[in-house]
A and B are shown apart, each in its own frame.
Chain A
Amino acid sequence: MNKNIIRLDSVWKIYKMDEVEVPALRGLDLTVKKGEFLAVLGPSGSGKSTALNMIGSLDTPTKGKIYLDGINISTLNESDLAQLRGRKVGFIFQVFNLIPSLDAVGNVALPMVFQGVSRESRIKRAKNLLIKLGLGHRLTHKPSQLSGGERQRVAIARSLANDPEVILADEPTGNLDSKSGLEVMEILKNLHKKENKTVILVTHDQKLVRYSQRICYLMDGKIIKTRRM
């Protein structure tokens, strides 16, 4: 049951800025067990977002290996990687990143489009997810017609569209008022507790770590401390 779903094997990420090489990750080792709630804490510039992007295969490491559900993702081509990402990982961003031209249902259904789910099932599942997250009255609203908290809940619904095993949340409360932030964190907690999702939360907000089971402190591209709750 407690198998590793994510494993980072001395992962380096070096950005080239003109002639200067700026390392964002310096040999990061990390394993995340299935069903775990992990918080990655660190100041800005510590490489925590970079690490999360690597895990979600949005970015490629300069050096090192990343395994997602046992698959070395550096061996996959663009198309397979996209498919895997769409199936296994759900992203929640600080700035929501919803598609402005699509309504709530359309946004939630979008990941299913790329997995070839039929239109009927897409819409049905999208509606169910939105209703479950308390947005039953906002189904046909465009992102611009929704509050920040509502937008983030649409984004959470979207991250769940293909029923992924891993939810990656990058400062999900960063753009929200405290009440909405709290709601979002409760939802994440429930996803972890009730649906046994693996949740990785990246934040610099100490208050949020109480939802997690394990905290990794990141500094200058390396984990400097790990703490179990």
Chain B
Amino acid sequence: MNQYVRLSWESIKHRKVRSWLTMLGIFVGIASIVALISLGQGMSNVVNEQFEMMGVDKIMIMPGQNLQSMGLAGEVLSEDDVEFIEKIKGVKLVAPMLYKTVRLKYKDQMEFGFVIGLPTDESMDIIMSMGNFNIENGRKLEKKDKNKAMVGCRHTNGDLFDKKVRIGDKIYAEDQGYTVVGSMECIGSKPDDGQIYIPLDSARDLLNEQTKIDAMYVQVKDGFNPSEVAETIKKKMRKDRDLEKGEENFNIQTSEQLMESFGVILGVVQAVLIGIAAISLLVGGIGIMNIMYTSVLERTKEIGVMKAVGARNKDIMMIFLIESGMMGLGGGAIGVVIGIAIGKFIESIAAKTGYVFLKITFDPGLIIGALAFSFVVGALSGLLPARRAAKLKPVDALRY
């Protein structure tokens, strides 16, 4: 075995350019599959983590027929709805929120940003967990707070304004000043991380909206099934609003349903990524077969020489199997390294532009699989022509 490896290695070294070209074919494919699948995997991991934090006992209610319309057609939810829903069986807490894009000002610099009005009672935690808002410095908003604010991480890290916002500073929204009491950890999307959070009552004053609600989250009591509670809410709200089934001007989703619809989207994204990677792998595989095939046939005479000095067919097959397998494996290993590098590069670019969602997860199974695949493709594409050449009579191989 050892001597075959040695012979194969000498041959690979001898044909450096050809060996590199062969490996190039496989490593492009492997690199793209490692990078793309790791990205897809990373993305779904991040999303799953977020949903896990959110918990399965939440229901989201928004105006409009579906999630996308977001109440743009004029449908609204109001404080009355909040009270109405709070009384429904199985509902533990209702957390209403109000939001709007406003002009934010800090130290004479103006930027646009989202202001979010949050309830300051215990139901605030529901919104915090649904939105993945976590305090980094300072404190959360409290009940007695008026004209206080929490800010997203782009305020405090100097990304939004030239000067970094600190706890205790005053930030202005539409000329109304708010004292910053807390700052958030980065969430991973630019708009989210540029938000400011103020008490719901302060937001009502600021936006001059006394009863409107833009969205609400419901936490279900222990022992109740969230989808059943969601169904009850839907039915009762329909009745309250005197609407037929199917023409609701609001929509209700449990966190489980949200997760599922995200899962479908992620699945499609991953399938596309895997598809692209599979194509490049196929192209790489065909490339390696091509080069291997011609290069082995070119060496038919060499095979004849080996037979003349006593090589059996199986010796020749072993030599070529090892040689092409090593090349496949080498190409695969380079591909894995490059794939990881590409993934990390994309991740760092994404992080710089604020998309922390693009995280890379490297599955050891994927890496082992990629290496095994490249070895097998390499070995097979070398073995087939070698088998043909080995089956020739020595005299015919020598005459080649």
- B11 near A101 with CB under 8 A, answer yes
- A114 near B15 with CB under 8 A, answer no
Is A190 at the interface (CB under 8 A from chain B)?
no
- A99 near B305 with CB under 8 A, answer yes
| Separation of A97 and B301 alpha carbons in the complex (Å) | 8
Spot the interface stretch: A82-90, A145-153, A203-211: A82-90
Spot the interface stretch: B47-55, B241-249, B306-314, B369-377: B306-314
| Separation of A111 and B2 alpha carbons in the complex (Å) | 15
- A111 near B15 with CB under 8 A, answer no
**Contacting residues, chain A, for B398 (C-beta < 8 A):** 58, 93, 97
Within 8 A of A (CB), among B262-312: 301-302, 304-312
- A82 near B393 with CB under 8 A, answer no
- B14 near A101 with CB under 8 A, answer yes
Given A58-B395, A97-B398: A114 and B308 interface contact (C-beta under 8 Å): no
Given A97-B305, A99-B302, A110-B306: A59 and B10 interface contact (C-beta under 8 Å): no
0 or 1 for each of A81-111: is its CB under 8 Å from B? (1 = yes): 0110111000101000111111000100011
**Contacting residues, chain A, for B302 (C-beta < 8 A):** 99-100
Given A59-B393, A60-B393, A101-B15: A83 and B10 interface contact (C-beta under 8 Å): no
Q: Chain A's nearest CB lies how many Å from the CB of B205?
A: 84
- B10 near A115 with CB under 8 A, answer no
With both beta carbons as reference points, the residue of chain B lying nearest to A59 in the complex is identified as B395
| Separation of A86 and B30 alpha carbons in the complex (Å) | 42
Is B68 at the interface (CB under 8 A from chain A)?
no
**Contacting residues, chain B, for A102 (C-beta < 8 A):** 7, 10
* Number of interface residues, chain A, beta carbon within 8 A: 32
Is A48 at the interface (CB under 8 A from chain B)?
no
| Separation of A113 and B308 alpha carbons in the complex (Å) | 13
**Contacting residues, chain A, for B310 (C-beta < 8 A):** 82-83, 85-87, 111, 114-115, 162
Is B3 at the interface (CB under 8 A from chain A)?
yes
Is B343 at the interface (CB under 8 A from chain A)?
no
Is B239 at the interface (CB under 8 A from chain A)?
no
- A113 near B7 with CB under 8 A, answer yes
Is A158 at the interface (CB under 8 A from chain B)?
yes
**Contacting residues, chain A, for B394 (C-beta < 8 A):** 57-59
- B312 near A82 with CB under 8 A, answer yes
- B14 near A56 with CB under 8 A, answer no
Cβ-defined partner of B3 (8 Å) among A78, A100, A101, A113: A113
| Separation of A114 and B316 alpha carbons in the complex (Å) | 10
0 or 1 for each of B334-365: is its CB under 8 Å from A? (1 = yes): 00000000000000000000000000000000
**Contacting residues, chain A, for B309 (C-beta < 8 A):** 85-86, 91, 110-111, 114, 158, 161
Within 8 A of A (CB), among B359-400: 393-395, 398
With both beta carbons as reference points, the residue of chain A lying nearest to B310 in the complex is identified as A86
**Contacting residues, chain A, for B185 (C-beta < 8 A):** none
| Separation of A106 and B9 alpha carbons in the complex (Å) | 12
- A82 near B7 with CB under 8 A, answer no
Cβ-defined partner of A85 (8 Å) among B7, B13, B308, B314: B308
Within 8 A of A (CB), among B192-217: none
Given A58-B393, A58-B394, A91-B308: A79 and B7 interface contact (C-beta under 8 Å): no
0 or 1 for each of B303-337: is its CB under 8 Å from A? (1 = yes): 01111111111110000000000000000000000
Given A60-B393, A99-B302, A113-B3: A83 and B312 interface contact (C-beta under 8 Å): yes
The residues of A with any CB-CB pair to B shorter than 8 Å are: 53, 56-60, 78-79, 82-83, 85-87, 91, 93, 97-102, 106, 110-111, 113-115, 119, 142, 158, 161-162
Which A-B residue pairs are the 5 nearest by beta carbons?
A: A86-B310, A101-B14, A111-B309, A59-B395, A58-B394
The contact sample of 23 A-B pairs, CB cut-off 8 A, is A53-B395, A58-B307, A58-B308, A58-B394, A58-B395, A58-B398, A59-B393, A59-B394, A59-B395, A79-B314, A82-B310, A91-B308, A91-B309, A97-B304, A97-B398, A98-B305, A101-B13, A110-B306, A114-B310, A114-B312, A115-B310, A119-B2, A119-B3
Known: A58-B395, A85-B309, A113-B311. 14 other contacts (CB 8 A): A53-B395, A58-B393, A79-B312, A82-B312, A82-B313, A85-B307, A85-B310, A86-B311, A101-B15, A102-B10, A110-B7, A111-B310, A158-B309, A161-B309
